[in-house]
Structure 1
């Protein structure tokens, strides 16, 4: 185009136009990438939040049957892998798909017969990567499972460091973690091999296709069916088209790997909690009469062993009732049932004459509060721990009043930051007695009608 116009003015104008187009293209690419990445970032956050919310809805048995490390790995690592992989691969797939279609149009315009030869060879290029893609997907699932198991080992050890150190088992835990990493290393090597084989077969297939096109095109030039110039142009288009197809085929296993990572995630999202639907009862006045009527219960992981069998008793308002018995007699199970953490296998558990599941979830847990022997605090301030779970933020006077009732106010007042003191992970900055006092204040601030200690 430029060579046809000999004048300097035309050359300058064309060069200026090319510069403008280049700058405009760069700006549009910048804006497009910014919008795309911003959108994918929001999708990632939203998706991770949805997965975590789906996990929180599950019944208590779900958390007993699935280890914390596995769940954590699915919610954090797997969602990140899925979103990041799809974010990168979708951008590549869209770009090269459009580019490939444009090049295909130019190839058809150049030579229909050579284009048909190229398209006839494409199924061979697709077949093997498809098979390898399934292999990569299977390996991706195994890698995510192995990572979840390794995470579980680390979480268990780090959350129980005093016990690990007390039994001098630091090296034992490190060895166990190394074993899990070795298992994951083997799977990663298989995954790398699958990717290399896929890349190699794609390269060889593309090279054979180029040789075939040159041979057939050469014969066509000899017979005069196509000019040498058109053959060169077609080969250039075909090389770029093959590159686009190669990129698409190499991205396919990575997409399959991301799909493999997503299997457990969507299993969580699609899982229906195995617990009765939450009720709607919100009575204005509760007498707090608790009745166990012929209650039997077996834990889901051992349904043939009844922990409670035909239990019947009544807890009257305004009275303290102590459950006394040997280890394993079901005292903690009674407390768990009363908190609606499980449902009786047989019989009924009534609160003011109504089954516990009939009450609205938040209302029920304002009326029934529990303080365990080993209470769980969160890595927040003392003030936030006492107000934990309340919809309406309590005043400082209400928080202090609950702390005074529980006996926690005296030691909290002696801390440099008072109620703003961070308690550390699981309340590790406080003594056992202090954790119990804060947990008791957390229960008392709700003014419960039933208090379980």
Structure 2
């Protein structure tokens, strides 16, 4: 009920204000006929009275009013007086609306003041909106300056592009002028010399505009390409430095979307958008000056379209294009990419479980979400374009109407009007481009913000260690570790975990799956940082060692080895720039891989295919072992590698490892037969060390290890029965 009362009060207040204002407006016209005041004095007195009257009516009916109403009342009251005073001072003329007071003049002034007030409200909001808008603009400005700084290597190309841009704009501005000149020459007494001169200049300006525009586009496109390539490499380098936990929490599709789409948007921020902005701005100023020279009255009429167009564009950019739909579109496309990447990378699992239709349906659902967002975006854009074109059409009707009156009164020629119409069509497009480009730059800067989030992110696992000792024994100490994975911080994997790995000894970790064995390997590789405790190597914290040095001294062979596209030689020497073929072959022999490699048609130059798909699992496993051994690591970690090897290969690998007496060897295996000769066997359960000792010691103790061996023996017998 209260809401209805408020609405009624506002409607009554509006009607009353309109009636009072119209009465004063017509009274002002009556004063003209009786010559009570001078022309300008009458306008300013009328403006003051209307402002006071409207303020009084608003206060009496509403009791209070917002700053928006103050600006609207002030602009509405003062606009006729300001316009007439400026016209009289600059051009020594008096307009029709200044001499007569009728409903058309009142509606024109009301529309202009309303558009100005609304434009002010949208672009410079009050109170909290102003503070939030200022903060967002400041952030966008900072991002833009960062993008601009990254363009520093391309400054010569950009500068050359701007020079040609200026030349193209200057030449282009004179083409409509000479078009109108030709029409005037043809419409009056034909002068061959003047006609040929006008055609010559129009042709020269057209040629200069085309050549300059082509050079400008070529230079700026080169700058965009160079910048985009550079930022992609920079972002990829920043991503590869992040800790493993980062990739467990961030979706692959999101990362690929940043690398592909957002970096391309960043490239447009400076080179393309600034190019369009400067070109349009220079062109707009030039055209306005030439239009003022042709008819200042028509120019002011045309410029009335600017606040309305800016208002429509601002609403579209702020409330739809930038804030909601564009950001939602980016996230939706990232999810669709993620679904496709997962299905393609796991195609074997998809095929084996007959889930092709399910994956297609999942991808279709993600694409449908993107389609819905695109439909909403296109609908909003269609409404926006309709409003913009209706505004332009209305302005053209007004311009043609008043242009006809000016020609009849001798204030313009037909050729001048044609030139003015050509300028007006270009000016309208330029103003729309100016208002649009700010929204597009905000969109591009928003994409840059997401890229800079990754570029600025500091890895949670530091790689700033400097220690590179000449001698390293490889003595490893796990001291009172407590650890939980970043993706599951409430689930503790290791609890008060302590362990010694001695140089020249083989340590085997056994126990049920998921109890923390592989986590020990991940921590030793510094994929993660423990929440409590520390890991020492030769009595020095693991994090104090140089990152490259550490991973050369600690090598790991996983149960599921990863090979990269390229030759076998490239995969064995992966990460070693100065690795010779002899060293590669020696490592392959130790891994029992040399014989099968030599039997291949291209030997060590054989391509392994994507992910090593052209090799069997056993062959991939042996190449991975060779890749670890070629580094001659001080600490070697074998994580369930024997599951893919036959007995002969396993024995040869063990013999090769036995030939390195000073190497620290850590083995994780479920095939307990392979670890009986280990110097130390550690049983891990519940994230703790439950038992440790040699095979015989643990068997005599008849604890967890003894039970594992008994169960393993039974399972092996059942397997062969």
Could you say whether these structures have the same fold, taking a TM-score greater than 0.5 normalized by the shorter chain as the test?
Answer: yes
Within 2, Cα distance between the matches of 1:373 and 1:170? 27
Q: Between Structure 1 and Structure 2, which shows a larger proportion of helix residues?
A: 2
User: What is the Cα deviation at residue 208 of structure 1?
Assistant: 2.3
User: What is the Cα deviation at residue 215 of structure 1?
Assistant: 5.1
Q: Provide closer, same or farther for how the CA distance between residues 116 and 18 of structure 1 changes in structure 2, counting only shifts above 3 A.
A: closer
Preserved CA contact (<8 Å) 2:485 2:493: yes
Q: 1:187-221, CA deviations, whole angstroms, 9 ceiling, x for partnerless residues?
A: 11112122222222211122223334455666777
User: What is the Cα deviation at residue 273 of structure 1?
Assistant: 2.2
Match of 2:623 among 416, 421, 438: 438
Within 2, Cα distance between the matches of 1:14 and 1:233? 13
Match of 1:294 among 480, 487, 505: 480
Within 2, Cα distance between the matches of 1:450 and 1:247? 63
Q: Report the secondary structure of 1:317's partner residue.
A: coil
User: What is the Cα deviation at residue 240 of structure 1?
Assistant: 2.4
Q: 1:77-100, CA deviations, whole angstroms, 9 ceiling, x for partnerless residues?
A: 332355368765554444333221
Q: Provide closer, same or farther for how the CA distance between residues 321 and 106 of structure 1 changes in structure 2, counting only shifts above 3 A.
A: same
1:349 is matched with 535
2:214 is matched with 30
- What's the C-alpha RMSD, in Å, of the aligned pairs? 2.7
Deviates more, 1:338-347 or 1:156-165: 156-165
Q: 1:3-40, CA deviations, whole angstroms, 9 ceiling, x for partnerless residues?
A: 599567x8778766665655454433333222121111
1:409 is matched with 594
Q: Report the secondary structure of 1:294's partner residue.
A: strand
Deviates more, 1:263-272 or 1:286-295: 263-272
1:101 is matched with 285
2:494 is matched with 308
1:371 is matched with 557
After superposition, residues 60-139 of structure 1 pair within 5 angstroms as 60-83=244-267, 89-134=273-318, 135-137=320-322, 138-139=324-325
User: What is the Cα deviation at residue 253 of structure 1?
Assistant: 4.7
Deviates more, 1:90-99 or 1:346-355: 90-99
Match of 2:432 among 204, 228, 246: 246
Within 2, Cα distance between the matches of 1:205 and 1:62? 50
Match of 1:165 among 346, 351, 357: 351
Q: Provide closer, same or farther for how the CA distance between residues 12 and 242 of structure 1 changes in structure 2, counting only shifts above 3 A.
A: closer
1:449 is matched with 634
Preserved CA contact (<8 Å) 2:463 2:546: no
Determine if the alignment matches structure 1 residue 187 to structure 2 residue 376. Answer: no
Preserved CA contact (<8 Å) 2:263 2:451: yes
Larger radius of gyration: 2
Which structure 1 segments of 5+ residues have no match? none
After superposition, residues 50-69 of structure 1 pair within 5 angstroms as 50-69=234-253
User: What is the Cα deviation at residue 50 of structure 1?
Assistant: 1.5
Q: Provide closer, same or farther for how the CA distance between residues 221 and 20 of structure 1 changes in structure 2, counting only shifts above 3 A.
A: closer
1:276 is matched with 462
Q: Provide closer, same or farther for how the CA distance between residues 158 and 235 of structure 1 changes in structure 2, counting only shifts above 3 A.
A: closer
Q: Provide closer, same or farther for how the CA distance between residues 373 and 150 of structure 1 changes in structure 2, counting only shifts above 3 A.
A: same
Within 1, Cα distance between the matches of 2:384 and 2:539? 66
Q: Report the secondary structure of 1:323's partner residue.
A: strand
Match of 1:338 among 512, 515, 524: 524
1:198 is matched with 384
Within 2, Cα distance between the matches of 1:371 and 1:299? 22
User: What is the Cα deviation at residue 130 of structure 1?
Assistant: 1.4
Q: 1:172-201, CA deviations, whole angstroms, 9 ceiling, x for partnerless residues?
A: 111111111111111111121222222222
Q: Report the secondary structure of 1:347's partner residue.
A: strand
Within 1, Cα distance between the matches of 2:260 and 2:228? 11
Preserved CA contact (<8 Å) 1:290 1:351: yes
Q: Provide closer, same or farther for how the CA distance between residues 251 and 15 of structure 1 changes in structure 2, counting only shifts above 3 A.
A: same
Within 2, Cα distance between the matches of 1:30 and 1:89? 17
Within 2, Cα distance between the matches of 1:301 and 1:11? 78
Preserved CA contact (<8 Å) 1:140 1:260: no
Match of 1:176 among 362, 366, 370: 362
Deviates more, 1:283-292 or 1:29-38: 29-38
Q: Report the secondary structure of 1:340's partner residue.
A: coil
Within 2, Cα distance between the matches of 1:107 and 1:271? 52
Q: Provide closer, same or farther for how the CA distance between residues 448 and 276 of structure 1 changes in structure 2, counting only shifts above 3 A.
A: same
Q: 1:134-187, CA deviations, whole angstroms, 9 ceiling, x for partnerless residues?
A: 311221211121111111111111111121111111111111111111111111
Q: Which has the higher contact order (CA 8 A, sep 6+)?
A: 1
Within 1, Cα distance between the matches of 2:270 and 2:342? 31
Equivalent residue pairs, number:
450
Preserved CA contact (<8 Å) 2:305 2:392: no
Q: Report the secondary structure of 2:507's partner residue.
A: coil
Q: Report the TM-score, using the length of structure 2 for normalisation.
A: 0.58
Within 1, Cα distance between the matches of 2:367 and 2:192? 69
Determine if the alignment matches structure 1 residue 40 to structure 2 residue 244. Answer: no
1:397 is matched with 582
Q: 1:301-325, CA deviations, whole angstroms, 9 ceiling, x for partnerless residues?
A: 2222211011111111010100111
Preserved CA contact (<8 Å) 1:292 1:313: yes
Q: Provide closer, same or farther for how the CA distance between residues 414 and 277 of structure 1 changes in structure 2, counting only shifts above 3 A.
A: closer
Preserved CA contact (<8 Å) 1:324 1:331: yes
Preserved CA contact (<8 Å) 2:310 2:432: no
Within 2, Cα distance between the matches of 1:367 and 1:279? 14
User: What is the Cα deviation at residue 108 of structure 1?
Assistant: 3.0
Which structure 2 segments of 5+ residues have no match? 1-180, 639-721
